[in-house]
Structure 1
Amino acid sequence: MIKKYTKTDKILIKSNEILNMLFNIQSSGRENPANNINEVVDMKESDSKLVSSLMRVNHSGEVAAQGLYIGHAILSKTKTQEEMMLNMASEEKDHLEWCEQRLKELNSRTSIFNPLWFSGSIAIGMLSSISNDKSALGFIEETEKQVAEHLESHIKKIPKSDIKTHSILKKMKSDEEHHGETAQKNGASELPLRLKKVMEITSNIMKFASYRL
């Protein structure tokens, strides 16, 4: 006999699924691309501060990415879409761990604003997924495009001698581009130009704050 669930049952089941998404995202376990690369000898203090600030921004970006993908997964219309979002979140968790490890190596810290970026991104992910999955995928495609562009700008700013950081950022950029391509191949809809601009402004606020704190 098939059990019939009440509305309360369904709410409780969905709530449990959301909690699992929030607290059980695991990294894919990929090795940090910088693990076998030697540290820069006698890095200048100014260079160390620059790299630390940029990597703090990148770490915050990965915190936001976690929230964004979880938010999309919560309101995904199909199981396939949900699994795709959670798989991307798992790869973003790799990035987060790599950035955090690099910050520790530089005797630096993560941003104090990370809880705000995480919770806000969950809300944004859910809001962009309310209408349909194609809209959510369009949001993912544009987000990853902007992230890849800012990673490229960071790669150009990092001292060439800091091969460890370069290797991390290049791998992250490759992954972000792949995520964007995946979203596009799965039917992402084009976002309005005005929304793209709002996303860019919001991202710049996050980068400005995380660079300093």
Structure 2
Amino acid sequence: MRSFSKLDNFLGRTNELLNTISSERDSDINYPASNISEGELNEKERKLSSSLMRINHSGEIAAQGLYIGHAFVSRNEDQKNLMLGIAEEEKDHLFWCKKRIKELGGKTSMFDPAWYCGSVLIGIMSGAYNDKVGLGFVEETEKQVSRHLDGHLEKIPANDHKTREILLQMKVDENKHGELASSKGSVEIPNLVKKLMGKVSKIMINISYRF
């Protein structure tokens, strides 16, 4: 019965995420760019910003998979709640990215389901090995995402103030969650694993940028 309950909860969370992804809710209440005027962007600049935000949206989908996968196998109730709490807090990022992509006339990645499934598996494997290791994966993920956002902040057009404000707030949240994982006793993962995560991330970035 315990296993069934965990599986039922996992499927419920996944279904909830799918509804979140497909939802047209705008999340105006927390939208960082709600009070910022749209800058003058030409077609090339709009396409660039849209592509970069599509990457960020895919990254947030993957992060949700990591958190939910870890929570599914966690043997520690506090750890499980921590992961689900972070996932819940970062749902706004999905809405922000999707809203901005729509404003720019773009579309989200057709490969988002693949990023989610792959990240769930990584979350399950890291969480099953050790809760502290799982926290290490979360901390490293947040660090890599933060560096990735820094790169996008340098690439986005100078007049795209709305996208810039969204990315800055996302960076604040990612850093906070990375620090939270560290404070809970995360174990630093091996450099080889960090490099592998980076390579997998580059594959996702290259594909999501185009599709």
TM-score range, shorter chain: over 0.9
Q: Hey, what's the Cα distance between the residues in 1 that align with 2:152 and 2:4?
A: 44
1:201 maps to 2:199: yes
CA-to-aligned-CA distance 1:80-105 (integer Å, 9 cap, x gap)? 11111111101221101100000000
Give the match for residue 183 of structure 1. Answer: 181
CA distance in 2, matches of 1:184, 1:11: 29
C-alpha offsets along residues 49-79 of structure 1, whole Å, 9 cap, x if unaligned? 1101100000000110111110011111211
The answer (yes or no) to whether the contact 1:128–1:139 under 8 Å persists in 2 is yes
1:22 aligns with 2:20: no
Larger mean CA deviation between 115-124 and 29-38 belongs to 29-38
- Paired with 1:24 and 1:206, the residues of 2 have a C-alpha distance of 23
Give the AA of the match of 1:21.
R
How far off its partner does 1:136 sit?
Answer: 0.2
1:35 — aligned with what? 34
Structure 1 residue ranges without an equivalent (≥5) = 1-8
Match of residue 140, structure 2, among 139, 142, 147: 142
Unaligned runs of 5+ in 2: 21-26
How many positions carry a matched residue from both structures? 203
Tell me by how many angstroms 1:18 deviates.
1.4
Identical pairs, percent? 50
Instruction: Tell me the TM-score normalized by structure 2.
Output: 0.92
Cα distance in structure 2, aligned partners of 1:80 and 1:20: 19
**Whose radius of gyration is greater, 1 or 2?**
1
Equivalence for 1:166: 164
Report the AA paired with residue 35 of structure 1: S
Cα distance in structure 1, aligned partners of 2:121 and 2:206: 21
Equivalence map 1:86-165=2 (5 Å):
86-165=84-163
The secondary structure found in structure 1 opposite 2:90 is helix
Runs of 4+ in 1 over 3 A off after TM superposition: 24-27
In the other structure, the counterpart of 1:74 is 72
SS at match of 2:188: coil
1:24 Cα deviation from its structure 2 partner: 3.2
The offset of 1:23, in angstroms, is 2.3
**Aligned mates of 1:116, 1:24 — CA distance in 2:** 17
More helix by share: 2
- CA apart distance, 1:14: 2.0
In the alignment, which residue of structure 1 is the partner of 2:23?
A: none
1:77–1:132 CA contact under 8 A, matched in 2: no
Task: Tell me which amino acid in the other structure corresponds to 2:6.
Answer: K
Letter paired with 1:47: E
